């Protein structure tokens, strides 16, 4: 294994447990518009591919495009207001990030949520300085598993792919890492769990954030 100089993290289900805020905001939006709500646990399988895909899954396959647009707009407005209300960083995450930085590891975030919301959540829970860069969904930027944002992060961190790790909780994250040529660490504490990460081909599986430290020594 090459020396690790940088670690790129997914956000939802990896750094922060955002499920309650995502699910609650979507359920309130659905009910307001006459659609049935989902159990919060159902959202574990809906998130990970961006807000539009989350909206399509919540409405059910075959929803009219204009309905998706309307619900998406209502959901984003509500979630933007409440995105830090119920969310919490995973236990040990902040300390792990600080230990990495003490060892000279550069940190970044690559997520499929909007970049504005990602920055809001990261600053709220981790402050302005722990991450050198946060990359989210922007017009014209391809979302994960496309490697474009991950390559942008590597360039920003002045790190080659072989000297980086990508940490995520879903098959989308594993495929993103593979597409970018980066080794992937599966965070089995997240939304999708160990089985999905094994099937997707994660290079390592870790059960808690502190176990990441053993991979960067």
- Residue 152's region, left for phi above 0, alpha for psi from -120 to 50, else beta, is alpha
Sequence length of the chain is 217
Strands 183-187 and 204-206: parallel
Q: Which residues pair with 106 in a beta bridge?
A: 6
Residue of 10, 17, 21, 169 marked catalytic: 10
Q: Is 88 helix (H, G, I), strand (E, B) or coil?
A: strand
Q: CA-CA distance, 170 to 191, in Å (whole number)?
A: 7
Question: What are the b/e assignments for 35-63, b being 16+ CB within 10 Å?
Answer: beeeeeeebbebbbbbbbebbbbbbeeee
Distance of CA 144 to CAs 26, 173, 175, Å? 22, 7, 8
User: 203 catalytic, yes or no?
Assistant: no
Q: Tokens for 23, please give them.
A: 């699910």
CB 43 within 8 A of CB 26: yes
Catalytic residues: 10
């Amino acid at each position: 294994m090459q020396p690790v100089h940088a670690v790129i993290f997914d956000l939802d289900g990896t750094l922060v447990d955002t499920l309650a805020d995502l699910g609650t905001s979507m359920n309130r939006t659905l009910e307001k518009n006459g659609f049935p709500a989902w159990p919060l646990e159902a959202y574990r399988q809906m998130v990970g591919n961006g807000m539009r895909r989350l909206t399509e899954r919540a409405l059910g396959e075959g929803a009219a495009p204009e309905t998706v647009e309307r619900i998406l707009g209502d959901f984003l407005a509500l979630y933007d207001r409440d995105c830090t209300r119920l969310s919490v960083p995973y236990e040990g995450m902040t300390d792990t990030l600080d230990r990495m930085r003490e060892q000279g590891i550069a940190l970044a975030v690559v997520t499929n949520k909007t970049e504005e919301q990602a920055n809001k959540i990261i600053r709220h829970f981790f402050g302005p300085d722990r991450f050198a860069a946060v990359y989210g969904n922007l017009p014209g930027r391809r979302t994960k598993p496309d490697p474009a944002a991950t390559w942008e992060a590597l360039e920003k961190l002045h790190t080659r792919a072989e000297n980086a790790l990508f940490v995520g909780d879903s098959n989308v994250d594993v495929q993103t890492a593979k597409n970018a040529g980066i080794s992937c660490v599966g965070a089995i504490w997240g939304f999708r769990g160990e089985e999905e990460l094994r099937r997707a081909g994660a290079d390592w599986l870790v059960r808690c954030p502190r176990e990441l430290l053993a991979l960067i020594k």
